Each structure stands twice: as C-alpha cells, then as structure tokens.
Amino acid sequence: MSYSVGNILFFDKYCFTDSGSCLPHFGLILLPEELTTMEGNLYCSVITSSRSTTFFDLPLSEAKYTCFNKPSYACFDRQDYQNHADIGSHNTNPPHSLDKADFNLAFVKLKTALFSPKLPYSNDRLLRGAIIREWKRVKQTLN
C-alpha cells in the first residue's frame, strides 16, 4: 500500500534514532517511501502522548483522530526512518490523515523544525527540499 505525507500510521516497531530503542508507536509520515533514498522506508515524525518542550509539536485531539485514546502530539523535532515492514497490521485502510487545518499548521511547524540549526537533519538540504516540495504538492490538492 502507498502512503502519503500527513498519514498517521501505527508501527508495531518504531525505532527511535535519538535513543536507539524500538517500541510500538504512532508516526506521522513526512516523506513517503517512493521519495526516500532508502527503499522500503518511510520518513516519519514520532507521535507521543507527551508534549514536547520545544514548539516543534502539533497537538492531535483524540476526539478528532479516533486512532488515539488520549491527547497526542506529532513531534517534528524527532524524525526517523521507519521500515515499511514494521507497520502494524491493524491500521485502517485508508490510513488516518491530518485534516486540512491541522495539515496547514503542521506544514508551518515542520518548516520551522527543518530550518532549525539545533536539529541534526537541518543540514541535509536534499531531504529538507524533498519534504517541503512534497508537503506543498499535497497542500495544493487540499485547497
């Protein structure tokens, strides 16, 4: 199955590059498999139930996104490549996606995170450009 930016997926094994641990977790797709340089991988931001201490997170209400059972946050300062094979079998088809208002807010926060000198991936201009181009493309289809 093909996924798009803004899709919310549950991973049976989400591997965190900042801690090295792998746990069941939700992720927000930042770049689909077809556009990553690593075949079989999606580029995602982790979704947690803990609010980040930075302003690089997007609140996701459990009332709006029924896949969550408590308020959650897409953390744009925590980005990881996730293996397509680790996607949980109980994800909905089609997957949950950000609504138009949240997509627009996410795009603003994501761009801020991508250009932050404090984050390690901000120096990867090709990755940053691919993410921004794909989010702009999807944003135009929403308007």
CA 82/CA 7 separation, integer angstroms: 14
Domain residue extents for the chain = 7-142
The one-letter amino acid at 64: K
Provide the pLDDT for residue 1: 66
Provide the pLDDT for residue 50: 85
The rounded average pLDDT for each run of 10 residues, N- to C-terminus, in the chain (143 residues) is 89 87 92 83 92 84 91 92 86 82 95 83 82 94 83
CATH of 7-142, one of 3.30.60.50, 1.10.443.10, 2.30.42.10, 2.30.30.110: 2.30.30.110
Query: Which pTM value belongs to this model?
Result: 0.91
Closest CA to 26 of 85, 91, 77: 91
Provide the pLDDT for residue 122: 67
